[in-house]
Amino acid sequence: MFKIICDSCCDLNEKLKKLLNVCIVPLNIQIGSKLLGEDGLNPKKVLEEMKKCLTLPKTSSPSPERFINAYKGLEKIFVVTISSKLSSTYNSALLAKDIFLDEISKKFIHVFDSKSAAVGQTLVSMKISEYIQQNLTENLIVDKVNKYIDEMKTFFVLESLDNLIKSGRISKWKGIIASTLSIKPIMKGNDIGEIELVKKARGTKNALSKLIDIIEKEGINIEEKILGITHCNCLERAIKFKEDVMKRLNFKDIVIVEAAPISTVYANDGGIVIAF
């Protein structure tokens, strides 16, 4: 028996929740002076609070104790965390593993750094589930999933620059100019899970079109791959993007998920995150 554990930046729709049966270990969100627990937290509530707050929202990783509680049971454990370059969640999960194995029980636990976030974590979890269904050994699953992570591409298009301005990554003046000119950045997660600017485009429609160009250029054997799309409060935009991709590229499948509260903090209102 196996169990897949993810932190709460992993975005899931109802179908995937039933299919993967992922155990979620929640991160914490702080917006201004408010510390928001994720239990019952609505992404739209997060957006409302972020718009009202002048400072950058913060997230904090789950405590090792939360992971230790998730590790309990007879199952062999696979853990998928948000990129270690974006959060200390990966380190928290590793520390919990060491404590659990030293003090509580001997069992198989492996922690994957997804080097991604949002739907990227979803795809990694789907790949683990696929290999489990194929009855592969745990060590072979680790090798194959690490290879999948190394080859996976993650991109996102931001509708709002508010959080980039609040974080100081772009100046307020440049942010105002970019917003006035409707400049939309296309970003990516690089090979070690850090965020890089890929290209800037005028308008969201143009940015998403350029993103398809990038997928076509960088995609290898896409007919064997699944394209994952996270949308932040913009389902129609995600559906339109899926349709436009299908006109040009032949992915094995395309899945759409809504941004969970943590992904909402990163993507902000109208943001699109894709991985393949």
- Enumerate domains of the chain plus CATH numbers: 2-149 (3.40.50.10170), 154-275 (3.30.1180.10)
Beta bridge partner(s), residue 111: 79
Query: Tell me, what's the pLDDT at 242?
Result: 98
Distances 251 to 46, 135, 216, 226 between C-alpha atoms, Å: 32, 25, 11, 6
Q: Would the CA dihedral through 249, 146, 29, 184 be positive or negative?
A: negative
pLDDT score recorded for residue 52 = 87
Radius of gyration of the chain (CA): 19
- Residue 270 tokens read as 């109208």
pTM over 0.85: yes
Q: Is 104 left (phi over 0), alpha (psi -120 to 50) or beta?
A: alpha
Q: Which of 24, 21, 22 shows the shortest CA–CA distance to 39? A: 24
Cβ neighbours around 21 below 10 Å, total: 10
132: pLDDT strictly greater than 90: yes
pLDDT digits (tens, 9 = 90+) for 143-167: 999 999 999 999 999 887 676 666 5
Please give the angle made by the CA atoms of 217, 234 and 204, to the nearest 5 degrees: 50
**Residues 73-92 pLDDT 10s:** 999 999 999 999 989 999 99
